[in-house]
Structure 1
Amino acid sequence: MINVRFTVFGGVSARAGDRTTEFGPTRLGALLGVLLVDAGRVVGADELVERVLGDAPPARARAMTQTWLTRLRQTLPGLIEREAGGYVVRVDPLEIDLHLFRHLVRTGRTAEALALAGEDLLSTLDTPWARRQRAGFADELLAARLDHVDARLGAGEHSAVVPELHTLAAQRPLDERVAAQLIEALHGSGRTSDALTHFDVLKARLATELGAEPSRQLTTLHRRLQTASAPRQLPAAPKPFTGRAVELAELDQAPNGVVVITGTGGVGKTSLAVHWAHRAAERFPDGQLYVNLHGFGPSGAALGPGDALLRFLSALDVPRAKVPHDLAGQSALLRDALAGKKVLMLLDNATDADQIEPLLPRTPDTHVVVTSRTALKPSHRARSLSLGLLPPDDARELLAARIGHDRAQAEPEAVDTVVRRCARLPLALAVAGARAATQPEFPLAALADELADLDAFADDDDVTADLRSVFSHSCKALSPAALRLFRLLGLMPGSDISLAGAASLAGLPVQETETLLAELARANLIEKSEPGRFTCHDLLRDYAAELAQHDEGEQALNRLLDHLALTGVEAGVAFTPTRRRPITPEPGPGVVVPPMGTREEALRWLMAEHPTLMAALPLGTPEQTWLMGWSLADVLDRQARYQDLLTSQQLALAAVEQLGDTDGIGRTLINVGRGLGRLKRLGESRAVLERAFEVYEGDAAGQAGVLLNIAMLCTDDQIHEAMEYTRRGLVLFEESGDQYGQANALTGLAWGYGKIGDYAASVSYSERVMPMWQAMGHLFGQGETWDNLGTAYLGLRDFPRAVHAFTQSSACFRLGGDLPHEAAAYEQLGDTHAAAGDAESARLAWQKSLELRVGAGLSADSVRAKLEAERE
């Protein structure tokens, strides 16, 4: 039987060349299969009977088996031999898929092995022996799968194996090898917080169900992840850094607590703090936290303490499910997270004590360094370190480090002149040094002579240094195009700007703008705040704004606002494709409008530009402001930024009213009403929506949309009233032929019937509207419909269908970028699991809902109550 290959996975078969013999569920196939499993070993006659016919064979079982053996030996001559009271298959084991599988596993070729075992072992034989073989092989198969996972982890495929490991962990919740692999995969995927959470869950289950502790391997892995997850947020150390020996020694000697470094703008507070933090990092093995509070940037750019707290808690791997929605609770949680840890916290560029007060942990092992232009006096006792101008020798050394020591030694008098005219301010020295470094062929004395005397640019009363001449000196070395771009960057409304925004501001092609930005970065006039975005020191920004010519500045700002408005519309359409696109003008000369390919790309752009758009809204023409407001309406609603939603739509409403666009006024009134409603200002919301209804007189679809929004304001004891508004809206949508509006109304009715307990009607309406949403590709509508189906199936106690519906609903809302509705879907999924008696699945779903609610700044009291009740 040379060159014959045999299979025992699935049905038994033999293949020679192109010819395959399938034995199927026959006795011959069963007999061949049980011999192939033990190829090369003699199987006794009685054992063969038991394997093929079971524990209670018929009276003539042995004779029957002999007959089958004879036929089998005739079919496959030379394969089966009789020996010592039994029978044996004489064939190379590697010609049998089971034995080849085992060989491949032993030699580390697990991918090939797993490809062989696609079906159950001896799937057509159902005897006790065959079932025992399958159960035993299941353990082999699992071990091979896990070996293959180890190989993939070793190859860096962490993200790819996470779904498979999640499934295995759900099936084998106490399997520590699976748990270790999942923890490793999550960590390698950048999800260390999830990895540590999984360890905590496993540890609790082991203690509760087995009374055991995690293995040494798992605890070692846990300690490694804790170390790896320690935050390392410090910016790069400033290079070069010179001097400040006295201040560095004082920082070294300060006990853990709070140190506030104060000094005028440009004096080097951040450089000192960051340099010292890197030098002292080993004192804080549990991590270093950093945040730029933008206290003295453009109006509206300062970072609130709540945002800073969320960043710190995330960096400390605190699960979002544990984060309360109020500032005091978040501050307390930060203290808990830092308790017992040796952590350094650097709060850079603070405005006042109120901005930093909630961030101060007051734990004995945490050290806080604050930088500010003002003398802060937090309620917690703080040491003050006032930073003056660089001493002359230190200032000379800093300049020499930037221009080259040989050059500095060759012209010591010129160095002194530059140092004096830079007023020994590190920012001025950095800018002047960059200017000199870019022109090594110029004598330093000639460059020094270009610096004018300094007079009072800084606002601080104790410093009279005027940085204008230093900045002017540096600007003279720029190409005319780069100098023009620098001037215009002083006009940007936010704290930073994108490449496309800078190109629009300058009215230049993107590639040319990128080259100019690189020139400005080399001159130390700007820096990258993050990939693709640029910022500059606020003093440089102020100087740039002073240089901007009035006429040119107006035109440039108008181009930038056009870029924001027109790109915002593209992003808004990509984010919600079913929205009616507003009429937009063609981009003017020099305005860059990058395309938005996907919903995810649009969401990233909108959230990245959100602060800039909010700052730009009051600056635009009526058309620009209306379009920017339109672009923000959906994303701010979906991301639960309700105050910004209301503010942006109020500004957009004032703008569109100047344009006299009736449809635009109606739509924006609806958005204002929605914002008021989200903030629970229901009376004001109702009044605004009633005004919108009047504006839409004669427009059936417009009035129908208003009626559906009024229905959304109805409370739980007004469901019948809400359904009546929805029915009226449906009639108007049908009159106007508005398919999207009809789908909205039908979805609202499905929701209403679910609320009043008519679950059959809710299912009927949901099944009617689902194909409409799917045809439109409308994720939010599909998510709402799945949610309504879940509510109905839960009411009907059809738990499997309800679980499926709420799972689909959460997925749709997640893909659609709607945090509040995704959170609600997870809460209801938890309710369904709880009703079905699956407490663990309920807890996991509720925790996910809590995480999303807290992340969106929404109330999470109902979910917390359920989790507390579940723990009790």
Structure 2
Amino acid sequence: MRFTVFGGVSARTDDGVTEFGATRLGALLGVLLVDAGRVVSADELVERVLGDTPPPRARAMTQTWLTRLRQTLPGLVGRDTGGYVVRVDPLEVDLHLFRHLVRTGRTAAALALAGDDLLAGLNTPWAVRQRAEFAQELLTARLDHLDARLDEGVHAELVPELRALADRRPLDERVAAQLIRALHGCGRTTEAVEHFLRVRGRLADELGAEPSRALSSLYRRLRPTSAPRQLPAPPKPFTGRAVELAALDQAPRGVVVITGTGGVGKTSLAVHWAHQAAERFPDGQLYVNLHGFGPSGAAVSPGEALLRFLSALDVPRAKVPHDLAGQSELLRDALADKRVLMVLDNATDTDQIEPLLPHTPHTHVVITSRTALKPPDAHSLPLGLLPPDEARALLASRIGHDRARAEPEAVDEVVRRCARLPLALAVAGARAATQPEFPLAALADELADLDAFADDDDVTADLRSVFSHSCKALSPAALRLFGLLGLTPGSDIGLAGAASLAGLDLAETEALLAELARANLLDEPEPGRFTCHDLLRGYAAELAPADERDEALHRLLDHLALTGVAAGVAFTPTRHRPRTPDPAPGVVVTSFGTHEEALAWLTAEHPALMSALPHATPVQTWLIGWALADVLDRRAHYADLLTAQQLAVAAAGQLGDAAELGRALINLGRAFDRVGRREDAQAALERAFEAYEGNPAGQAGVLLNIAMLCPDDRIGEAVEHTRRGLALFEECGDRYGQANALTGLAWSHVRLGEYAKAIEYAERVMPMWRALGHVMGEGETWDNLGSAHLGLGRPAEAVEAFTRSVEHFRAGGDRALEAAARERLGDAHAAAGDGEAARRAWLLAVEVRTEAGLPTGPVRRKLQTEGQ
């Protein structure tokens, strides 16, 4: 039987619903249900139902109504010493269920219950007081729920609700703080500042008070302490282009598109001007090389560029939506009131850049492209060949001004043969600079003697002539490496990747890369990573030895796949390492000692790994997909996660290995879930379950993943899936799997508020983790115990459990889990009444979160509240 006291009083049984309406019988039942399980005296009943001045024979009337109520609902109302009591589980009454849901952190479900006024049909003084007290209780729950949503990164969609709430409660500092957080979180910092100032003025005028420390502290943190500075190093030397620089200075704020042929210096101009103009954009400079004209598969997608920008702007990953339109809108919100310069380099078409254009009044965008892009309201700046005097000055800066003045005719000839293209002049100048003892005329003669690929006025022909000349000066080994580098599917490559490509050791490869850099055929934008202009890359690919191409590319893909597995294991040590083939001869497989080293490699190689997938063998594809699964998930690269896992599933299907297919399908299910395709996720996991037929451990793992798909309102289903998984793990004797399942059951019962059951499972699994020597498993179990003890009102036991979980997570090297456990340890200290210990725990949680790059806002708010 279930009862309602919100709105009109009603009772629901298997036979139907009894609506009591605004009757004395309903009033009597309602006042008893409000205190379900507690004895209410006869006098209290009279006062609650009939008011402070009841009519004559009030007690007799009440007795009559009680008799009728007992007849209507037999066995519900009992007589006890001094009064009456309803014999019902309080959680069967919507008011008490509301309070239980709030206590256990399920405020969304609680708020859904309280849609109507408490005891709406009763207007006695007692009922009015109850409604007023519950209204405050309801407001607190609503504000708690809003805080939770803000902590999750939801900002823009909460602004209307919080504005309305702030209008009704203009002096409520908690509401003011929430509105300020929401406005600032969606990039409307100016409005957030204005609201703070408005609230501060009202507090002073109406109450003669200053804002609280918490609200003042929030105001001080409205503006970030640092702005993104993503521009690459300015080109050195940079010569000329005075007219174009002036045009960029004078262009109206908005979008400028620099167009011109390959090698004409578009990027150099854009980056040089951006450094000069940086002070005009104090909120930061954003830059991305879109690689629109690089090798197939190397172009940066709009979604990837958006993720880079949002990360640079400190937008929490949890706030980033899955779809491109949502990400684009979030970028606009983040830049709404910021003065930022954005450089979109090497764009290929409008589709690639349109999602990146914020169209905000203070953001200025500079685009470079070989095609005549025409975004709405854009200013076009065509870039032609260098004027002759500027071309001569650029060459002189490369070879030395004294040398240039000594041979002016040779300078003119080199400039002509380089078609006044900055890229060609840089390569030719580097060639001359390596041989300072040779007369410059010799270089000019060599260029003049080269066979033309087309007419002299053909820009591509001139570039190829210069490239050919510079390559003739390379050692045979460097020339071979240069040709092989043209085969790389990504836009850049690491030292170990280059060594694998060439089949050489690291030291020899490093020396050859340095030779190519000195010849200006290769750049090293950051230590250990190498790239080159896409025109040079295309030319290099033509030089790759025909009989080595396939083997060289296979070695590179082997390096990426096998090193990727090593990185994936170091990044998530608890994953089962997949079987890997022996590396091909000459392949360098890097090892990793720490989680941080693995993360750095996976981050740097992410574009290369994604570009490699279409070229890899089925084994390499499946391994690369496995390697990327966790890092792309944790860093919210959900579109790439889905692509990688779809390819991995297809590859695993070709290999015919059920275990590999099952594992790939589990990862695919996770990817579908992350992009909001819950039905596809369920279907992928069901396929995984079928693939693991005859493999109980595999099927059990799938069931645990299906349990993870269950939302909060379906935790019961999650428990059933986990129990089935546990039974299968027990059937095949998989102790690790059993421990995982038991840990999942403990956590599920914590989420259900069934704390005693959670403790039972946690105590059952603890010796298993210890026997397995699994530090992280022990840490999770201590954490579950702490949460359960805290839920049962045992703060001392919770403090002990959370202290142990912190120790284990720290030993296991998981900073995120350690930070969360330290925060909960502070909660336990606070519940125990030890404010100083709580503050110390929360401060350490902030420190660990900061080191791990995690949001600190929720913990800081606890510190502010404790300090008031």
Distance 1:233 1:647, change over 3 A: closer
Deviation at 1:209, TM superposition (A): 12
1:239 aligns with 2:239: no
Deviation at 1:785, TM superposition (A): 3.3
Aligned to 1:549: 545
Matched AA of 2:677: R
1:568 aligns with 2:564: yes
SS in 2 for 1:336: coil
Aligned to 1:525: 521
Aligned to 2:155: none
1:349 aligns with 2:314: no
Aligned to 1:739: 735
Deviation at 1:836, TM superposition (A): 9.4
Q: Which consecutive segments of 4 or more residues in structure 1 shift more than 6 A?
A: 206-210, 225-228, 317-325, 803-838, 854-857
2:245 alignment partner, one of 223, 244, 248 = 248
What CA distance in whole angstroms lies between the structure 1 residues aligned with 2:727 and 2:319?
A: 46
Deviation at 1:503, TM superposition (A): 0.7
- Does the CA contact (< 8 Å) of 1:639 and 1:817 recur in 2? no
Aligned to 1:264: 261
Aligned to 2:404: 408
Aligned to 2:685: 689
What CA distance in whole angstroms lies between the structure 1 residues aligned with 2:301 and 2:810?
A: 27
User: How many residues matched?
Assistant: 651
Deviation at 1:229, TM superposition (A): 3.4
Aligned to 1:330: 330
- Does the CA contact (< 8 Å) of 2:298 and 2:489 recur in 1? no
1:229 alignment partner, one of 226, 230, 235 = 226
Deviation at 1:766, TM superposition (A): 1.5
Aligned to 2:503: 507
Matched AA of 1:469: S
Aligned to 1:369: 366
Deviation at 1:755, TM superposition (A): 3.9
Matched AA of 1:656: A
Residues 800-830 of structure 1, C-alpha deviations (whole Å, 9 max, x = no match): 6657867987997899798998999899899
Residues 363-422 of structure 1, C-alpha deviations (whole Å, 9 max, x = no match): 65554332222222222x232110001112221221122122333333333322222221
Distance 1:464 1:651, change over 3 A: closer
1:277 alignment partner, one of 270, 274, 293 = 274
Deviates further, 516-525 or 390-399: 390-399
- Does the CA contact (< 8 Å) of 2:776 and 2:812 recur in 1? yes
SS in 2 for 1:450: helix
Aligned to 2:145: none
Aligned to 1:390: 386
Deviates further, 678-687 or 623-632: 678-687
Distance 1:235 1:638, change over 3 A: closer
Aligned to 2:604: 608
SS in 1 for 2:627: helix
Distance 1:761 1:490, change over 3 A: same
1:656 alignment partner, one of 652, 663, 666 = 652
SS in 1 for 2:525: strand
What CA distance in whole angstroms lies between the structure 1 residues aligned with 2:365 and 2:472?
A: 40
Aligned to 2:164: none
What CA distance in whole angstroms lies between the structure 1 residues aligned with 2:750 and 2:614?
A: 43
1:785 alignment partner, one of 781, 791, 797 = 781
SS in 2 for 1:491: coil
- Does the CA contact (< 8 Å) of 1:507 and 1:590 recur in 2? yes
- Does the CA contact (< 8 Å) of 1:496 and 1:529 recur in 2? no
Residues 148-182 of structure 1, C-alpha deviations (whole Å, 9 max, x = no match): xxxxxxxxxxxxxxxxxxxxxxxxxxxxxxxxxxx
Matched AA of 1:331: L
Distance 1:358 1:791, change over 3 A: same
Distance 1:695 1:467, change over 3 A: same
Aligned to 2:662: 666
1:580 alignment partner, one of 573, 576, 588 = 576
- Does the CA contact (< 8 Å) of 1:436 and 1:447 recur in 2? yes
Distance 1:518 1:337, change over 3 A: farther
Deviation at 1:506, TM superposition (A): 0.8
1:429 aligns with 2:425: yes
1:626 alignment partner, one of 622, 627, 631 = 622
Deviation at 1:521, TM superposition (A): 0.9
Residues 680-708 of structure 1, C-alpha deviations (whole Å, 9 max, x = no match): 43443344333433433333322322332
Deviates further, 235-244 or 404-413: 404-413
Deviation at 1:508, TM superposition (A): 0.7
Deviation at 1:471, TM superposition (A): 1.0
Which ranges of structure 2 fall in alignment gaps of 5 or more residues? 1-188
Aligned to 2:83: none
Matched AA of 1:612: A
SS in 2 for 1:290: strand
What CA distance in whole angstroms lies between the structure 1 residues aligned with 2:723 and 2:607?
A: 39
SS in 1 for 2:287: strand
Distance 1:293 1:507, change over 3 A: same
Aligned to 1:148: none
SS in 1 for 2:514: helix
After superposition, the CA RMSD in angstroms is 4.8
Distance 1:627 1:253, change over 3 A: closer
Aligned to 1:76: none
Distance 1:758 1:236, change over 3 A: closer
Aligned to 2:759: 763
1:441 aligns with 2:437: yes
Distance 1:785 1:370, change over 3 A: same
Deviation at 1:568, TM superposition (A): 1.6
Deviates further, 357-366 or 617-626: 357-366
Matched AA of 1:369: V
- Does the CA contact (< 8 Å) of 1:423 and 1:465 recur in 2? no
Distance 1:404 1:742, change over 3 A: same
What CA distance in whole angstroms lies between the structure 2 residues aligned with 1:663 and 1:600?
A: 29
Distance 1:445 1:661, change over 3 A: same
Matched AA of 2:409: E
What CA distance in whole angstroms lies between the structure 1 residues aligned with 2:334 and 2:807?
A: 31
Deviation at 1:792, TM superposition (A): 2.4
Distance 1:814 1:498, change over 3 A: farther
Aligned to 2:61: none
Matched AA of 1:470: V
Residues 635-682 of structure 1, C-alpha deviations (whole Å, 9 max, x = no match): 334444444333323322322333332332332233333333444434
SS in 1 for 2:367: strand
Deviation at 1:523, TM superposition (A): 0.9
Distance 1:790 1:648, change over 3 A: farther
1:297 alignment partner, one of 294, 299, 313 = 294
TM-score normalised by structure 1 residue count: 0.65
1:211 aligns with 2:210: yes
What CA distance in whole angstroms lies between the structure 2 residues aligned with 1:565 and 1:618?
A: 13
Aligned to 1:729: 725
What CA distance in whole angstroms lies between the structure 2 residues aligned with 1:810 and 1:348?
A: 45
Distance 1:405 1:549, change over 3 A: same
SS in 2 for 1:467: helix
Aligned to 1:39: none
Deviates further, 236-245 or 792-801: 792-801
What CA distance in whole angstroms lies between the structure 2 residues aligned with 1:305 and 1:800?
A: 51
What CA distance in whole angstroms lies between the structure 1 residues aligned with 2:653 and 2:227?
A: 52
Matched AA of 1:327: Q
Work out the percentage of aligned pairs sharing the same amino acid. 72
Residues 728-781 of structure 1, C-alpha deviations (whole Å, 9 max, x = no match): 322332232222111111112213333444311211212332454456565664
What CA distance in whole angstroms lies between the structure 2 residues aligned with 1:729 and 1:213?
A: 51
Which ranges of structure 1 fall in alignment gaps of 5 or more residues? 1-192
Deviation at 1:427, TM superposition (A): 0.5
Deviation at 1:424, TM superposition (A): 1.1
Residues 203-261 of structure 1, C-alpha deviations (whole Å, 9 max, x = no match): 99x999983899xxx99xx99x9898355443332222222222223223334333221
SS in 1 for 2:478: helix
What CA distance in whole angstroms lies between the structure 2 residues aligned with 1:581 and 1:319?
A: 30
What CA distance in whole angstroms lies between the structure 1 residues aligned with 2:684 and 2:621?
A: 20
